[in-house]
Amino acid sequence: MQFQWYPGHMTKAKRQMQEDLKLIDLVIELVDARVPLSSRNPDIDELGKNKARLILMNKADLADEKKTELFRRYFKSLGYFVVCIDARSKSGMKVIQNEIMEACREKIERDRRRGIKNRPVRAMVVGIPNVGKSTFINTFAGKACAKTGNRPGVTKGKQWIRLNKSVELLDTPGILWPKFEDQKVGLRLAFIGSIRDEILNTDELSLELLTFLMQNYPGTVAQRYGIEEDADAAETLGAIAVARNCRSKGDEVDYSKAAAIVMDEFRSGKIGRFTLEAPE
């Protein structure tokens, strides 16, 4: 399967991010816990060097818990601060606040030595499309936060959301581009729905997904659809079509309908919790 990308977007986004990064102390990078490597753009390491780094493994509710823990340790071993979250829920937010302070401890102490007290940490959220950046900002910032910036005399300032006395967040996230020179990365991003389906062949995609699930999580597809898994993914898809009564007008088995069901149910976590890759 071939994927395409449009370089114009990349250049503009990158330039914007370089500007924004000058203003902050901490990069909060969201990744999708189902594809913690494929949903990263490695360029962020170069762009965010000299900044404190926090990785949020988001959508942990949809990922395989054991693998999530492996990845958490893996990222920590590389020197990142890491928290696994469901950005729609407020429950992880206190842990994040603590990790932010830990990640920025050096800066806070440096400020203190220079006699600067209570200067808030400035942070920015970054990540590829659809990892949950806006959801996270909404949940973390809530409604109560005052926006700062655009002070009198400063017409074109950045908007900062004051979370509390110690943290300010840039209100617009930095959008990174997925990097899928490697077709496997493209495929994983397509599985989780990060590449628009219009440019993909859903039938083919569902066969690739079924193959992956049957090999790596045997029995889960059988359980969801009440069928027997067949090593041939097309046979399995056919069985799902029959089980779900997917028929075309001429009463023929409609594979495309079944493929759409499989993709939809996978993405919403109905088939189970899966992680599509392993730490390097």
- The binder of ligand G4P chosen from 5, 43, 129, 145 (CB under 6 A): 129
**Alpha-carbon gap, residue 192 to 187, rounded angstroms:** 9
**Token pair 């990744």 in the structure block, residue:** 31
Name the strand (E) or helix (H) holding 147. strand 147-148
Helices (H) and strands (E) in the chain, counts: 11, 8
For residue 279, which of 10, 80, 5, 53 has the smallest C-alpha distance? 80
The answer to whether 88 contacts ligand G4P (rule: CB under 6 A) is yes
The answer to whether 133 contacts ligand G4P (rule: CB under 6 A) is yes
At residue 181, φ and ψ (nearest 5 deg) are: -65, -35
Binding residues for ligand G4P, how many (CB under 6 A)?
15
The answer to whether 48 contacts ligand G4P (rule: CB under 6 A) is no
- In angstroms, give the least distance from the CB of 180 to ligand G4P: 17
Toward ligand G4P, which CB reaches closer, 140 or 255? 140
- In angstroms, give the least distance from the CB of 173 to ligand G4P: 6
Toward ligand G4P, which CB reaches closer, 68 or 206? 68
The answer to whether 62 contacts ligand G4P (rule: CB under 6 A) is yes
Phi-psi region of 11 (alpha: psi -120 to 50; beta: other; left: phi over 0): alpha
The answer to whether 256 contacts ligand G4P (rule: CB under 6 A) is no
- The binder of ligand G4P chosen from 77, 134, 216, 245 (CB under 6 A): 134
- The binder of ligand G4P chosen from 58, 68, 202, 275 (CB under 6 A): 58
- In angstroms, give the least distance from the CB of 273 to ligand G4P: 10
The answer to whether 53 contacts ligand G4P (rule: CB under 6 A) is no
Tokens of 238: 């056919």
Q: What is the Cβ-side half-sphere exposure of residue 201, based on CA atoms within 13 angstroms?
A: 8
- Cα four-point dihedral sign 99, 106, 177, 78: negative
Q: Which window, 128-136, 159-167, 206-214, 270-278, contacts ligand G4P (CB under 6 A)?
A: 128-136
Q: Which one-letter amino acid corresponds to residue 75? A: F
For residue 103, which of 54, 137, 141 has the smallest C-alpha distance? 54
Q: Which window, 18-26, 123-131, 231-239, 255-263, contacts ligand G4P (CB under 6 A)?
A: 123-131
> Which distant-in-sequence residues (6+ apart) come within 8 Å of 39 by Cβ?
31, 32, 127, 128, 131, 178, 189, 192, 194
- The binder of ligand G4P chosen from 34, 40, 59, 179 (CB under 6 A): 59
> Which distant-in-sequence residues (6+ apart) come within 8 Å of 68 by Cβ?
33, 57, 60, 84, 275
The answer to whether 236 contacts ligand G4P (rule: CB under 6 A) is no
The answer to whether 124 contacts ligand G4P (rule: CB under 6 A) is no
Residues contributing to the site for ligand G4P (CB under 6 A) = 58-59, 61-62, 86-88, 127, 129-135
